[in-house]
Every structure is written in C-alpha cells, then in structure tokens.
Amino acid sequence: MTTERIGPSPTASEREMLRTFLDYHRATLAWKCDGLDDEQLRQRSMPPSTLSLLGLVRHMAEVERAWFRRVIDGEDIGLVWSDERDFQVAYDATDSTRAEAFAAWQAEVEHSRRIEREAASLDVTGYSASWAEDVSLRMVMLHLIHEYARHNGHADLLREGVDGVTGA
C-alpha cells in the first residue's frame, strides 16, 4: 500500500489550506505505517513507554473524535478505547490490529471531514471542556495540524526503529 500525500496550494483559501494541511498530516501518519504488519506496528519505542505506530493511530482516532465530534458537533460520546476519557489508553496497542485501529481512525477522520464540510464557516464554535472555553473550528483544525505534526515526528522515529525506513 502506498499512501499519497498532497500538500496545499500556496494560494488556496484559508479553509482549503487548513483542510489540505490537515489531510496531508493524516496521510503522513498512514504513510509511516505503510508496508508494516501488526507486530511491527505494535513495536514499542523503548521501555517503559507503550508508544507504537499503532498506538499513535489509535490516539489520533481519539483526538479526531474528541475535537470534531464532541467539541464542534456537540455529540455526547465517550472515547473509543477509554471509558474514563483517558487519551493515554489508546497508546497501548498490545492487543490491537491494523484492521481495528485503522478502521476506527478512518471512521473518525470521515466524521471530522463531514463536520468541517457542513460547518457554515471556520468561526463555528463548540465548547472544549479540557480548555474550559469555546473554541472555533479554525482553532480545532489548527490544533489537529499541531497534534499530527508532533506525533508524525514520533512516527518518524518509531518507523526508523522498526525497519530503518526514513523520510519526511
């Protein structure tokens, strides 16, 4: 499987640029996992950390779910892997599979894309309990770009540790 990453046009509108940068970073995480089996995807960085590529995919499913569905769309739903709303639980992918993790992540990405497309503008707001204030869709998209960029740096190191593959 080869994941295609398309960067934004340097002259795109603000919304299109945010959308495309977010999709670029989503594709980067998938790309870092290309060609690996379940065991390789579960390989941890170093003790005592439970961080793995599969754990990052699971974590980002939780992040997408929380920010788009819970905050912007106002859905009263829990997390996928934690009843206590603990985002760290997703990192432990010991018993997870590519199929399970990617299905959950891709489903949340599709929900996020739908919510963003249906929003009247980037100024639409929702309440963030973790920040204890209203946040705009613009802020959520920027926050997710930040989350993906940070975790894609982790994914670079994890992938190199699994099979030596590097690349931005």
Note the pLDDT tens digit of each residue in 6-62. 888 899 999 999 999 999 999 999 999 999 999 999 999 888 888 999 999 999 999
Domain boundaries, the chain: 14-163
Q: Higher confidence at residue 77 or residue 89?
A: 77
Q: Which CATH architecture has domain 14-163?
A: Up-down Bundle (1.20)
| 138 touches 34 (CB < 8 A) | no
Summarize the confidence of residues 94-106 as an average pLDDT: 96
HSE, CB side, 13 Å, CA atoms: give it for residue 143: 16
Instruction: Note whether 53 and 32 are within 8 A (CB).
Output: yes
- pLDDT value at residue 24: 96
Closest to 115 (Cα-Cα) out of 81, 107, 60: 107
Q: What is the structure's pLDDT at 99?
A: 98
pLDDT of residue 128: 96
Cα separation of 23 and 156, whole Å?
Answer: 17
Segment holding 57, helix H or strand E: helix 53-64
Of the pLDDT bands very low, low, confident and very high (cuts 50, 70, 90), residue 1 is low
Stated as kind and residue range, the H or E segment containing 128 is strand 125-128
pLDDT tens, position by position, 119-153: 999 999 999 998 999 999 999 999 999 999 999 99
- Looking at residue 48, its pLDDT comes to 87
Count of Cβ atoms closer than 10 Å to residue 14 Cβ: 10
pLDDT at position 168 over 70 = no
52, 158 Cβ separation under 8 angstroms: yes
What is the rounded radius of gyration, in angstroms, for the C-alpha atoms of the chain? 16
**For the whole model, what pTM was predicted?**
0.94
Q: Is residue 165 within 8 Å of residue 43, measured between CB atoms?
A: no
